[in-house]
Structure 1
Amino acid sequence: MIVWSQTIPPAPAASDEAAQTVPFPASDGAKGGEEGKGERASPSLPPSPVSTSPAAKSVSPSATSARERDDVYNPAPHQNPVVAALQEEGLYLPGLGAGKHSLICPWAQEHGSDDPGPAIYTEPTTMRPIGKFFCPYPHTERVQIDRLLERLGIEAAHARCKPSIRLVSGEMLRVLDAAERSLLRLDTFYQSGGVIVTVNATAKGDAAVSLVNDNVLTKALARVADWEKFDGRSKEWKPSDPPTQIVRQLLNAQTYDHLPVLDGVARQPYFRKADDTLVAEPGYDAQSKVYAVFDREAFVVSDVSEAAARDALGALKDLISEFHFASECDRSAALCAMLTAAVRSSLPLAPAFNISASTPGSGKSYLGALITPFAGPGEPLNMSYPTTAKEASKSMLAALLGKPAVISFDDMQTDWLPFGMINRMLTSETVTDRVLGVSRTVTAATNVFVMGTGNNVSPVRDMSRRVVTIQLRPPTGSPATLSYAGRPVDAVRANRGRFVSLALTIVQAWQAAGRPRTDVPDIASFGAWSDKVRQPLLWLGEPDPATSLIQQVRSDPDAESLARFMEAWRLAFGSKPMTLRKVVDRAERDNGALLDAMMELPFVERGAINRNKLGWYLKRNANRIVDGLHFQREDNSERTAWSVQTIGDSYSGVSVGNASSARTEAPIDPREPVMINGEIY
Structure 2
Amino acid sequence: MADPIPPLTPIDFDAPPADTSPAAEAPQIAAGCRALIAPDQVVELRALDVPSGRDWTCTCTGYFAADRLDDLARAAVGYRAAKGVYWTLNPVRPDLLARRANRAARAARGDAAADADVVSRRWVLVDLDPRRPANISATTAEKGHAADLALRIRDDLHARGWPEPVVVDSGNGYHLLYRVDLPADDGGLVRRVLTALAARFDTAHVHVDRAVHNPARICKVPGTWARKGDDTPDRPHRRSRLLHVPDDLGVVDPAMLDAVAGPAPPPSASSPPRASAPRSAGPGGWDRRLNVAGWLTDAGVAFRVKAEPDAHGRTVYVLARCPFDPAHADPDACVMQAEDGRLAARCFHNSCAGHGWQAFKAAIGPPRRRHYEVQGLPPSADGPTRRGPAGPIPSAPPAGGPTHDDSAGDDGPPDDPPDDPDGGGPARLPAIIVNDRQLPDVTCDALAALAAVNDPPVIFQAGGVLTRVRAGDDDDPWRLEPLTDSALKGVMARTARWYEARAAGQGVEHVDASPPMEVVKDVATLPHWAVPKLRAVVEAPVFLPDGTLALAPGYHPAGQLWYAPAGGLAIPPVPVHPTTADIAAARALILDDLLGDFPFADAAGRAHAVAVLVVAFARHLIAGPTPLHLVDAPTEGTGKTLLVKVLLWVVLGRDAPAIPEAENDAEWRKRITAALVEGRSCLVLDNLNQAVESGSLASALTTETWSDRLLGVSKLVQVRNRAVWVGTGNNVSLSRELVRRTLWCRLDAGVERPAERAGFRHPRLLAWVQANRGRLVAAVLTLVRAWLNRGRPPGSQVMGMYESWAEVVGGVLDVAGVPGLLANRDTFRDAQQPADDWPAFLHAWWAAHQGKAVGVAALFDLAVRGKHLDGVLGDGSVQSQRCRLGRAVTKMVDRVQGEYRVRLGDPDNCRRQQYRLQCSDRAAAYQEVVETIGR
Cross-structure match for 2:906: 635
Contact 2:291/2:445, CA 8 A, preserved across alignment: no
**In structure 1, the residue corresponding to 2:800 is in which secondary structure?**
coil
Cross-structure match for 1:460: 735
Contact 2:608/2:743, CA 8 A, preserved across alignment: yes
Counterpart of 1:400 in structure 2: which amino acid? L
Rg larger in structure: 2
Q: Cα gap change, 1:321/1:231 in structure 2, threshold over 3 Å: closer, same or farther?
A: same
Counterpart of 2:768 in structure 1: which amino acid? A
Q: Percent identity?
A: 23
Which of 578, 581, 604 lines up with 1:307 in the alignment? 581
Report the alpha carbon displacement of residue 617 of structure 1 after superposing the two structures with TM: 4.3
Does residue 1:431 correspond to 2:706, yes or no? Answer: yes
Aligned 1:213-232 pairs, distance under 5 A: 213-232=484-503
Cross-structure match for 1:172: 439
Counterpart of 2:533 in structure 1: which amino acid? V
Does residue 1:197 correspond to 2:253, yes or no? Answer: no
Partners in 1 of 2:306 and 2:788 — Cα distance? 48
Partners in 2 of 1:355 and 1:386 — Cα distance? 18
Partners in 1 of 2:835 and 2:431 — Cα distance? 66
Which of 595, 613, 638 lines up with 1:338 in the alignment? 613
Counterpart of 2:590 in structure 1: which amino acid? L
Does residue 1:374 correspond to 2:646, yes or no? Answer: no
Cross-structure match for 1:490: 767
Does residue 1:409 correspond to 2:685, yes or no? Answer: yes
Aligned 1:137-148 pairs, distance under 5 A: none
Which of 596, 604, 609 lines up with 2:868 in the alignment? 596
Cross-structure match for 1:679: none
Cross-structure match for 2:355: none
Does residue 1:624 correspond to 2:899, yes or no? Answer: no
Report the alpha carbon displacement of residue 315 of structure 1 after superposing the two structures with TM: 0.8
TM-score, normalising length: structure 1: 0.69
Partners in 2 of 1:51 and 1:559 — Cα distance? 70
Partners in 1 of 2:741 and 2:578 — Cα distance? 31
Q: Cα gap change, 1:190/1:549 in structure 2, threshold over 3 Å: closer, same or farther?
A: farther
Q: Cα gap change, 1:59/1:592 in structure 2, threshold over 3 Å: closer, same or farther?
A: farther
Contact 1:73/1:164, CA 8 A, preserved across alignment: no
Q: Using CA pairs below 8 Å that are at least 6 residues apart, which structure has the higher relative contact order?
A: 1
Cross-structure match for 1:319: 594
Partners in 1 of 2:837 and 2:727 — Cα distance? 25
Partners in 1 of 2:531 and 2:637 — Cα distance? 49
Counterpart of 2:637 in structure 1: which amino acid? G
Greater displacement, 359-368 / 204-213: 204-213
Partners in 1 of 2:736 and 2:306 — Cα distance? 61
Aligned 1:397-546 pairs, distance under 5 A: 397-415=673-691, 417-483=692-758, 484-486=760-762, 487-516=764-793, 519-520=796-797, 522-546=798-822
**Residues 165-213 of structure 1, C-alpha deviations (whole Å, 9 max, x = no match):** 2225443223223323323424321001111111144345953211211
Contact 1:624/1:630, CA 8 A, preserved across alignment: yes
Partners in 2 of 1:287 and 1:198 — Cα distance? 18
Report the alpha carbon displacement of residue 406 of structure 1 after superposing the two structures with TM: 2.0
Partners in 2 of 1:503 and 1:203 — Cα distance? 25
Counterpart of 2:443 in structure 1: which amino acid? L
Contact 2:631/2:728, CA 8 A, preserved across alignment: yes
Partners in 2 of 1:350 and 1:225 — Cα distance? 43
Report the alpha carbon displacement of residue 611 of structure 1 after superposing the two structures with TM: 4.9
Report the alpha carbon displacement of residue 259 of structure 1 after superposing the two structures with TM: 1.4
**In structure 2, the residue corresponding to 1:542 is in which secondary structure?**
coil
Cross-structure match for 1:283: 554
Report the alpha carbon displacement of residue 648 of structure 1 after superposing the two structures with TM: 4.5
Cross-structure match for 2:530: 258
Does residue 1:237 correspond to 2:513, yes or no? Answer: no
Counterpart of 2:480 in structure 1: which amino acid? V
Q: Cα gap change, 1:514/1:335 in structure 2, threshold over 3 Å: closer, same or farther?
A: same
Does residue 1:578 correspond to 2:871, yes or no? Answer: no
Q: Cα gap change, 1:618/1:481 in structure 2, threshold over 3 Å: closer, same or farther?
A: closer
Report the alpha carbon displacement of residue 393 of structure 1 after superposing the two structures with TM: 0.7
**In structure 2, the residue corresponding to 1:546 is in which secondary structure?**
coil
Report the alpha carbon displacement of residue 28 of structure 1 after superposing the two structures with TM: 4.4
Contact 1:305/1:512, CA 8 A, preserved across alignment: no
Contact 1:324/1:473, CA 8 A, preserved across alignment: yes
Contact 1:380/1:405, CA 8 A, preserved across alignment: no
Unaligned runs of 5+ in 1: 1-25, 39-48, 85-122, 131-152, 650-681
Cross-structure match for 1:57: 113
Does residue 1:647 correspond to 2:920, yes or no? Answer: yes
Cross-structure match for 2:544: 272
Q: Cα gap change, 1:492/1:563 in structure 2, threshold over 3 Å: closer, same or farther?
A: same
Report the alpha carbon displacement of residue 269 of structure 1 after superposing the two structures with TM: 2.6
Contact 1:466/1:549, CA 8 A, preserved across alignment: no
**In structure 2, the residue corresponding to 1:480 is in which secondary structure?**
helix
**In structure 2, the residue corresponding to 1:175 is in which secondary structure?**
helix
Partners in 2 of 1:405 and 1:270 — Cα distance? 11
**In structure 1, the residue corresponding to 2:903 is in which secondary structure?**
strand
Cα RMSD (Å): 4.1
Cross-structure match for 1:137: none
**Residues 560-613 of structure 1, C-alpha deviations (whole Å, 9 max, x = no match):** 9444443232233222211234433x347xx322x522x433898667545556
Partners in 1 of 2:834 and 2:447 — Cα distance? 51
Cross-structure match for 2:174: none
Does residue 1:384 correspond to 2:651, yes or no? Answer: no
**In structure 2, the residue corresponding to 1:197 is in which secondary structure?**
strand
Partners in 1 of 2:535 and 2:560 — Cα distance? 5
Partners in 2 of 1:551 and 1:330 — Cα distance? 12
Unaligned runs of 5+ in 2: 1-46, 60-81, 87-106, 117-276, 279-287, 296-303, 314-395, 404-421, 923-935
Report the alpha carbon displacement of residue 493 of structure 1 after superposing the two structures with TM: 2.0
Cross-structure match for 1:110: none
TM-score, normalising length: structure 2: 0.52
**Residues 44-90 of structure 1, C-alpha deviations (whole Å, 9 max, x = no match):** xxxxx966547842499xxxx9797659989999669xxx9xxxxxx
Cross-structure match for 2:671: 395
Report the alpha carbon displacement of residue 506 of structure 1 after superposing the two structures with TM: 0.9
Contact 2:611/2:809, CA 8 A, preserved across alignment: yes
Counterpart of 2:615 in structure 1: which amino acid? T
Counterpart of 1:413 in structure 2: which amino acid? N
**In structure 1, the residue corresponding to 2:775 is in which secondary structure?**
helix
**In structure 2, the residue corresponding to 1:592 is in which secondary structure?**
helix
**Residues 13-56 of structure 1, C-alpha deviations (whole Å, 9 max, x = no match):** xxxxxxxxxxxxx954999xx96689xxxxxxxxxx96654784
Partners in 1 of 2:603 and 2:426 — Cα distance? 68
**In structure 1, the residue corresponding to 2:652 is in which secondary structure?**
coil
Contact 1:270/1:279, CA 8 A, preserved across alignment: yes
Partners in 1 of 2:828 and 2:724 — Cα distance? 20
Contact 1:72/1:166, CA 8 A, preserved across alignment: no
Q: Cα gap change, 1:411/1:28 in structure 2, threshold over 3 Å: closer, same or farther?
A: closer
Contact 2:796/2:810, CA 8 A, preserved across alignment: no
Q: Cα gap change, 1:256/1:558 in structure 2, threshold over 3 Å: closer, same or farther?
A: farther
**In structure 1, the residue corresponding to 2:872 is in which secondary structure?**
coil
